[in-house]
Structure 1
Amino acid sequence: MKAEPILFEKERFAAKRLPREEYIDCTFRHCDFTGADLRGCSFVECRFEHCDLSTARWTNATLRDVLFSDSKLLGAAFCDCNPFLWSADFEACRMDFALLNGMRLKKQRFVRCRLQHADFSGADLEGALFDECDLSGAVFENCMLEKADFSTALGYSFDLSANRIRKARFSLPGIRELLERYGIVVEP
């Protein structure tokens, strides 16, 4: 028998260690995790709605079937999380300076997220979706971007020869920006 979902609302975990290490089927709504110590915590089938998780420490944290919605994740070092069965979706999140480098993010979904200056270096983003995302200043170097969808994303610019991009999707305005670094002009 499945336990009842747990709701944490307007809790302040800022700059603290969380009271428990395992959270299953929990919703965190309007909670402040700024600088919180999430090291070793496990979040399974959890939702973070309208939360501030900026600069939280994610070392060895487990994220499995987690949704971040309308949340702030400035400087989030997701690359420090436990990679085993890692799965998270991001909707309408502010993720400037997030660290996702070296991660296996196949079919990862980023929807209406601001990912300015996020670092994806060495990440496997095969089939990833960047739907209406702002990728200004984001770093894509030595990435697997095959079948990734950038067709509604904005602001991305990366070296085509430094990434695997076969069958990646781009829009005409986006491809103009992408080719601009090579001095190529695309006429309408």
Structure 2
Amino acid sequence: MTELIEDSSFHNEDWYGEELIDRAYTRCSFRDVDLTEAISRGTVFTECTFGNVRLNASRHVDSAFLRCTFTRCNLFEAEFTGCKLTGSTFHECALRPLRVIGGDWSFVALSGADLRGVTVQGVRMREVDLTGANLTEAVVSDVDLSGAQLHSARFTRCDLRGSDLTALDPTTVELTGAVIAAAQAVVIAQALGLEVR
């Protein structure tokens, strides 16, 4: 039975190591809440706001953060496995090292984010906003980046193998040392107007 919590505010609370199992938070506000090493499983946050929330080393499995806003939150060593974050926004958050395996991060706003060294594998990130984001030495493999906003993003020494790069304009991003597969090289060459035979 899912526990429903709506229109509630949580301020200066200590939820260190808390287990959030099968809960549904709607339009709730979390400010200065300590969720370090917390675990969420099957929990859904809809249109919630997180301000100065510590999510260090937290683990999230099959949970959802739908159209949520994260401002100045700390996600150091946080992990998301099979989670849905569609339409969520991150402002001035500490996001590294972050690990995301599977799930749907479409329409997520990560413009200007410092994502150096993060791991993102097998994730759907359609129309994600990575404008100006720094993904130096990150692993972004088997990721659906179709329709993504990638202008001025840095993919220096980033592992992009298996990802959809059809939205990538090689003239507006930094790709030095990035690792791609042969089929992706063809996509990038075509984006440059080259004819591959």
C-alpha offsets along residues 11-50 of structure 1, whole Å, 9 cap, x if unaligned?
3222213498111222111001111222222112110110
Contact 2:145 2:164 in 1 (8 A): yes
Q: d(CA) in 1 for partners of 2:100 and 2:58?
A: 13
Assess if the C-alpha contact under 8 Å between 1:151 and 1:174 holds in 2: no
Superposition pairs for residues 44-63 of structure 1, below 5 Å?
44-63=36-55
Q: Any stretches of 5+ residues in structure 2 without a counterpart?
A: 170-186
Partner residue of 1:67?
A: 59
Match of 1:138 in 2: 128
Between the aligned partners of 2:101 and 2:2, the Cα distance in structure 1 is: 24
Aligned length: 177
Report which stretch shifted further, 168-177 or 104-113. 168-177
> What's the TM-score once normalised by structure 1's chain length?
0.80
**In the alignment, is residue 42 of structure 1 matched against residue 34 of structure 2?**
yes
Bigger strand fraction: 2
- From 66, 73, 96, the equivalent of 2:86 is 96
Consecutive unaligned residues in structure 1, runs of 5 or more = 1-8
Residue 87 of structure 1 and its aligned partner are, at CA, apart by 4.2
Deviations 1:138-176 (A, max 9, x none): 01111111112222111344446x122111111256245
Partner of 2:8: 16
CA RMSD of aligned residues (A): 2.7
What is the distance in 1 between the residues matched to 2:11 and 2:83? 25
